């Protein structure tokens, strides 16, 4: 397995592994001449704003590495743990199948190790291939690749030889030799031109390997060529006892998949067992609980972004990898938009080392501290406060600590609701979306303006308060709590007690309700001992039922109070802009992707990105110090959609040599004319090479179409709406 700081190149979760890069270009001659003057000492002046900006960008890049490595490692741990029980079950089945194969195998004869159909001890299992069908419940295989890779590592750690073969290897193009070579390559660790199972038999018989099974894993049986896979199974069945091969295949649809893919001859050799993985929705709930609800890295998303992530997950056929990619892009967008978003790293450092971040905030520049108190969330919050708060790093630290406290309270209440919803299979994602909605929270505050008696009547009368707020899932959870049996209600309150250990204001109310239920149980027990007659027993039954209804109502009322008083969404907390991403339009645009349009914009507005003195002062006008591709594309705007190559080169030449034409021209002596002609030729050749390289770069990026046979002297500019 990889550590959190390692990024394997084949990991789909790291497909957008962002790395810093720099574009270097030469400075203008005027700046060079003024920077160094012979016989005169000069002082280097640094722009304080540029220095702060560079430091800020470095902090953001470091924050991204820290936050994403934390989230990525948590996601891997969650996916590994959610499949742990199924993996253990598969491992136990592999061991039992191997033992059954060994029980029928006769004495090992090394002279016949390379021949199929060995002599068996008691017969009956000749050509029988133990096969495990793993139902993935996925439409796309991108998640299955990771899952079966983890399964292979799990089986290897439990003493199995494992070969993971892709469904792409079972294609008519590669034939039976392609899948067989992929199989042998992973076990023998060498490339084999003439693949033969007898090589595997010889390898297995050497060095005493008879104590371990050979497991072949295919991540998606239904994507394989049926004819090739059938031939492969027929071949393995001939060696099923001499080489204890066990087959594991992923299936996405139903148990009839093998009948739809394989031939009847191959089917008769399979001895199948069925296993089921967690569905994509359950995996997504586990990721949301760990990453966003429990907030492992301090990063949060707004209600609209969370809704978009849910819809994006569904549009991508429920692939967890697509959700992880969108979440990663949201972190990148947050760090690129908000100047103070690098406090996310301070949050991670505080959680890991239990160190306060007040000292780190005190070292921030004054303009960044001032920026934090100009955020809309703080301005809205400060309007409702009468007392004056000094705007400094200490106040910012207290504000961030208060935000963490409120989020911890929100988190514990959400987990209490989710625990209550588990009895009726309520998804965490649905509760999470409602808990994030600031409109629902504001409506709760407005409804709280009514007197407490009216509030209680609304809470106890079919949860009309929540119906008015359109909190359908929350309303369902609270309504179902009234129907819970006493035993399940007691178990639920114990779970609530565990979730709210860090929130005393809620924890005390739960403990009080538990003590009331205990006292009611004691009264019921005493009534059972004293009541003798049938009439008294029936009355006692009615009293117990009444007490149970009272306890359920109290628990539902407590849940309503928790939602109203303690579940403040992140978007309603001051300073939330620093750690919460809300710009759903930017995220949607980034995920949709329009790289050529982005390149076009960056080429025209490069000076806004580089922020160098020689180009920024030009205001976008052409300068010899500009990047050559930017010069070329800016000139292309002047030439129109159809660009004459000769005219384009002359314009490029004039722009590059414009600085050399400034000042007085010196007359060359007759003796040096020949040397000047040679240097001029070298200069023209260099310009042509630079011109061709820039044209090639524009062609590679898709911004140019190369000359056609009809107009070989022209290229066509491809424009994308800006």
User: How high is the mean pLDDT of the chain?
Assistant: 77
Largest CA distance in the chain: 135
Percentage with pLDDT > 90 across the chain:
22
Q: Picking from 169-183, 210-224, 347-361, which range would have the lowest pLDDT averaged per residue?
A: 347-361
pLDDT at 390 over 60: yes
Higher pLDDT, 264 or 667: 264
How far is C-alpha 20 from the geometric centre of its chain's CA atoms? 20
Q: Picking from 47-56, 288-297, 509-518, which range would have the lowest pLDDT averaged per residue?
A: 47-56
How far is C-alpha 92 from the geometric centre of its chain's CA atoms? 32
pLDDT at 225 over 80: yes
Question: What are the structure tokens assigned to 321, written together?
Answer: 């990898």
Query: In angstroms, what CA-CA distances link 433 with 292, 306, 309, 589?
Result: 11, 7, 11, 22
DSSP secondary-structure letter at 288? Answer: I
Q: What is the pLDDT of residues 672-706, one digit of tens each?
A: 455 555 566 667 788 888 888 888 888 887 788 77
Bridge partner residues of 275 (DSSP): 134
222: Cα within 13 Å, side-chain hemisphere: 19
Q: Picking from 110-114, 158-162, 618-622, which range would have the lowest pLDDT averaged per residue?
A: 110-114
3-state secondary structure of 18: coil
Mean pLDDT of 185-190: 84
Query: In angstroms, what CA-CA distances link 302 with 184, 242, 285, 307?
Result: 50, 59, 17, 9
Mean pLDDT of 356-382: 82
pLDDT at 406: 92
pLDDT at 326: 92
Confidence of residue 68 (pLDDT cuts 50, 70, 90): very high
pLDDT at 387 over 70: no
Percentage with pLDDT > 70 across the chain:
72
Interacting residues of 81 by C-beta distance below 8 A, sequence separation 6+: none
Mean pLDDT of 161-181: 88
Bridge partner residues of 271 (DSSP): 130
pLDDT at 18: 44
Confidence of residue 46 (pLDDT cuts 50, 70, 90): very low
Ramachandran area for residue 250 (φ above 0: left; ψ -120 to 50: alpha; else beta): beta
Q: What is the pLDDT of residues 596-621, one digit of tens each?
A: 677 777 777 777 766 666 666 655 57
pLDDT at 25: 44
Q: Yes or no: say if 80 and 150 are a contact pair by the CB < 8 Å rule.
A: yes
DSSP secondary-structure letter at 20? Answer: -
pLDDT at 293: 93
Q: Please give the Cα distance from 355 to 625 (Å, whole number).
A: 47
pLDDT at 153: 93
Q: Please give the Cα distance from 218 to 163 (Å, whole number).
A: 9
Q: Yes or no: say if 126 and 239 are a contact pair by the CB < 8 Å rule.
A: no
Q: Please give the Cα distance from 279 to 287 (Å, whole number).
A: 13
Higher pLDDT, 64 or 387: 64
pLDDT at 521: 57
Architecture of the domain defined by 73-278: 3-Layer(aba) Sandwich (3.40)
pLDDT at 516: 80
Question: What are the structure tokens assigned to 583, written together?
Answer: 């710009």
Percent of residues in the chain assigned helix, strand, coil, to nearest 5: 65, 5, 30
Q: Where are the domains of the chain?
A: 73-278, 295-581, 595-717
Mean pLDDT of 572-578: 92
User: Got the DSSP string for 118-164?
Assistant: --BSS-S-TT-EEEEEEE---SSSHHHHHHHHHHHHHHHHTT-EEEE
Beta-strand (E) ranges in 310-446?
none
pLDDT at 301: 94
Count CB atoms within 10 A of the CB of residue 267. 15
Q: Please give the Cα distance from 51 to 56 (Å, whole number).
A: 9
């Amino acid at each position: 397995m990889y550590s959190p700081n390692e990024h394997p190149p084949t990991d789909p979760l790291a497909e957008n592994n962002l790395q810093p890069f720099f574009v270097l270009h030469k400075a203008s001659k005027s700046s060079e001449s003024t920077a160094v003057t012979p016989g005169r000492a000069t002082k280097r002046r640094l722009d304080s704003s540029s220095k702060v900006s560079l430091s800020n960008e470095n902090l953001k890049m470091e924050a991204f590495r820290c936050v994403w490595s934390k989230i990525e490692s948590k996601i891997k741990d969650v996916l590994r743990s959610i499949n742990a029980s199924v993996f253990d079950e598969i491992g136990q089945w592999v061991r039992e199948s191997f033992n059954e194969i060994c029980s029928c195998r006769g004495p090992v004869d090394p002279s016949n190790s390379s021949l199929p159909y060995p002599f068996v001890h008691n017969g009956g299992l000749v050509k029988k291939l133990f096969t495990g069908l793993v139902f993935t419940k996925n439409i796309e295989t991108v998640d299955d690749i990771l899952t079966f890779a983890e399964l292979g590592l799990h089986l290897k750690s439990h003493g199995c030889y494992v070969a993971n073969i892709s469904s792409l290897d079972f294609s008519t193009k590669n034939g039976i030799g392609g899948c067989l070579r992929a199989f042998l390559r992973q076990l023998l660790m060498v490339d084999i031109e003439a693949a033969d199972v007898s090589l595997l038999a010889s390898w297995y018989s050497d060095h005493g390997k008879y104590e371990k099974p050979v497991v072949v894993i295919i991540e998606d049986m239904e994507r394989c060529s049926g004819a090739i896979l059938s031939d492969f199974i027929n071949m393995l069945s001939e060696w099923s006892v001499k080489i204890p091969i066990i087959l594991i295949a992923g299936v996405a649809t139903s148990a009839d998949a093998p009948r739809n893919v394989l031939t009847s001859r191959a089917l008769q050799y399979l001895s199948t067992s069925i296993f089921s993985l967690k569905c994509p929705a359950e995996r997504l709930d586990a990721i949301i609980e760990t990453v966003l609800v429990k907030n492992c890295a301090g990063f949060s998303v707004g209600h609209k972004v969370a809704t978009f992530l849910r819809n994006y997950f569904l549009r991508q056929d429920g692939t967890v990898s697509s959700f992880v990619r969108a979440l990663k892009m949201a972190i990148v967008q947050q760090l690129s938009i908000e100047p103070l978003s690098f406090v996310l790293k301070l949050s991670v450092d505080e959680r890991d080392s239990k160190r306060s971040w007040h000292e780190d905030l005190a070292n921030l520049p004054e303009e960044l501290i001032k920026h934090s108190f100009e955020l809309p969330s703080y301005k809205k919050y400060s309007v409702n406060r009468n007392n004056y708060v000094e705007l400094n790093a200490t106040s910012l630290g207290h504000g961030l600590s208060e935000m963490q406290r409120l989020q911890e309270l929100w988190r514990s209440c959400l987990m209490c609701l989710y625990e209550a919803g588990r009895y009726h299979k309520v998804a965490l994602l649905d509760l999470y979306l409602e808990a994030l909605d600031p409109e629902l929270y504001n409506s709760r505050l407005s409804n709280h303006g009514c007197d407490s008696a009216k509030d209680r009547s609304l809470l106890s009368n079919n949860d009309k308060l929540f119906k008015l707020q359109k909190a359908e899932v929350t309303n369902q959870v609270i309504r179902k709590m009234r129907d819970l049996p006493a035993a399940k209600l007691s178990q639920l309150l114990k779970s609530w007690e565990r979730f709210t250990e860090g929130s005393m204001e809620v924890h005390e109310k739960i403990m009080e309700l538990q003590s009331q239920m205990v006292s009611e149980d004691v009264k019921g027990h005493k009534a059972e001992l004293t009541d003798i007659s049938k009439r008294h027993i029936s009355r006692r039954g009615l009293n117990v039922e009444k007490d149970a209804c009272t306890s359920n109502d109290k628990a539902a009322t407590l849940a309503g109070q928790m939602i109203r008083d303690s579940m403040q969404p992140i978007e309603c907390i001051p300073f939330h802009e620093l750690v919460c991403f809300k710009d759903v339009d930017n995220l949607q645009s980034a995920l949709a992707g329009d790289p050529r349009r982005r390149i076009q914009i960056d080429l025209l507005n490069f000076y806004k990105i580089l922020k160098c003195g020689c180009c920024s002062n030009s205001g976008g006008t052409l300068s010899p110090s500009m990047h050559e591709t930017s010069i070329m594309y800016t000139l292309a705007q002047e030439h129109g959609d159809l660009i004459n190559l000769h005219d384009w080169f002359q314009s490029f030449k004039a722009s590059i040599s414009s600085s050399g034409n400034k000042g007085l021209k010196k007359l060359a002596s007759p003796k040096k004319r020949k040397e000047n002609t040679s240097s001029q030729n070298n200069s023209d050749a260099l310009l042509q090479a630079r011109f061709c390289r820039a044209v090639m770069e524009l062609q590679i990026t898709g911004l140019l179409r190369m000359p056609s046979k009809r107009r070989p002297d022209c290229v066509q500019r491809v424009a994308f709406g800006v």
